[in-house]
Amino acid sequence: MSYDFLWQIALILVSTKICGLITRRFQMPQVVGALLAGLLLGPAVFGLLPSDSEMIKQLAELGVIVIMFSAGMETDIRDLKNAGKSGFLVAMLGVLVPLLGGAGLAAWLAPTENMLQNFFIGTVLTATSVSITVEALREMGRLQSRVGNTILAAAIIDDILGIIALTIMTSLGGGGESIAVVLLKIVLFLVVCCFVYVVGLKALDWYIERAGRRDLRRFPIAAFVVCLMMAWIAEHFFGVADITGAFAAGLMIGATKKAGYIASKFEPVQYLFLAPVFFASIGMTVVLPAMNTQIVIFSVLLVVVAVLSKWLGCGAGAKMCGFTTRECNQIGLGMVCRGEVALIVANKGAEVGLMPDALFGPVIIMVIISTILTPILLKLAYRGEDDLQLEESPLENRSEALEQLDIVTDQLLTREQEIKEKNQKH
């Protein structure tokens, strides 16, 4: 066994944190710095880390699963239900506008062979990757708001609409499963989620009551098991993204009696280990392809269409639901990020001959730029809002309670250590 993963993880941790602290100094979310750190470490710039390490990839997958699981724990299912209707409209327009925009751009400029390939470029633009937005909103203390819940609801529905769009395209292209099977799977997955939510919640709460305060460690472990199994089941049996399964598991765990305690234990697992690996891995996989002038122009326009179509599409959906213009911008920009989902879609398209090889470069560039732009644009969309929520209403929500507790923990343990050392000197 090679021990190289030790310094690789150390390098990822130290560089994501340093870059994060630098971007924060410029009033930008730390997640921007973490993404840039990955880009610097990967083959695109310094090439310090291999882009094909299976270990890093799987840790990154665990990282995004834990991020979405935590987002689920912080979300109240009632808020999500209330956001469902507006989320549906936002997601619907957020899929249709990029689909048409991408297809139009491809028909105009790309070296595609038929209409189906043009529409496939549009399909690549439909998939929102919400994890970066979740992290940025959490840093700004805005995840648990009407806007935050609408983005979460829209992202889940977007995931499902994206699967449907991809299935229609690939079955038109002559490969993949039939649309009926895919729809059936999605419905079954929702049934499983409801079942797990209702029955799992009852069972866990019964177990928590019964076990009392003995061996508290069993609860975070049980929660992690539920999270991992739901993520795997979603991906393996239902063709839904693993992070959607993890989010559903988080919703359920977040409703149990030990939700706060469990969340406090997942926090260090996330920021100390898994989340930095995930953020860095996004930048690390970037290998810039050789390109000619036509492709460069197409890339630039693809980025513009990708950002504008999501922003305007989702923003228009939000406007119809009565959000203010400011909130519409926040929702629209929160949905801009594409992330790894677009790359997976592009790969599936290549398998059935819908994705010309020459267009992989532009898609990769679109993913990087939209991912790095999202937290920056979001920060701008929230500019001027009162960010001092923490001091005004301490313990207002769960993650702030955790932050307070963290500071108390630190003071308590530091004090205890000082006493111990004083005793030893005497």
> How far is 31 from 383, CA to CA, in rounded Å?
17
> How far is 411 from 249, CA to CA, in rounded Å?
33
State the nearest-atom distance from the C-beta of 231 to a copy of itself, in Å: 5
Among 6, 25, 357, 388, binds a copy of itself (CB under 8 A): 6
Q: Which is nearer to a copy of itself, 59 or 363 (CB)?
A: 59
Q: Which is nearer to a copy of itself, 122 or 339 (CB)?
A: 339
**Per-residue x/- track, 259-278, a copy of itself (CB under 8 A):** xxx-xxxx-xx-xxx--x--
Q: Which is nearer to a copy of itself, 216 or 321 (CB)?
A: 216
Residues 8-67 that bind a copy of itself (CB under 8 A): 9-10, 13-14, 17, 21, 54-55, 57-58, 61-62, 65
CA dist 411 → 408, 416, 418 (Å):
5, 9, 11
What is the rounded end-to-end Cα distance, in angstroms, of the chain? Answer: 49
Supply 21's token pair: 């602290």
Phi, psi of 405 (to 5 degrees): -60, -35
**Per-residue x/- track, 221-260, a copy of itself (CB under 8 A):** xx-xx--xx-xx--xx-----x--------------xxxx
Residues near a copy of itself (CB under 8 A), total: 66
Exposure on the CB side of residue 345, measured as CA atoms within 13 A: 33
Q: Does residue 412 interact with a copy of itself by CB under 8 A?
A: yes
Exposure on the CB side of residue 348, measured as CA atoms within 13 A: 25
Residue 112: which of 366, 288, 295 has the closest Cα?
295
Q: Which is nearer to a copy of itself, 116 or 401 (CB)?
A: 401
Residues 276-295 that bind a copy of itself (CB under 8 A): 276
| Residue 44 and residue 283 in contact, taking contact as beta carbons nearer than 8 Å | yes
Who's near 160: CB < 8 A, 6+ residues apart? 186, 240
Binding site for a copy of itself (CB under 8 A): 1, 3-7, 9-10, 13-14, 17, 21, 54-55, 57-58, 61-62, 65, 213, 215-218, 220-222, 224-225, 228-229, 231-232, 235-236, 242, 257-261, 263-266, 268-269, 271-273, 276, 395, 398, 401-402, 405-407, 409-410, 412-414, 416-417, 420
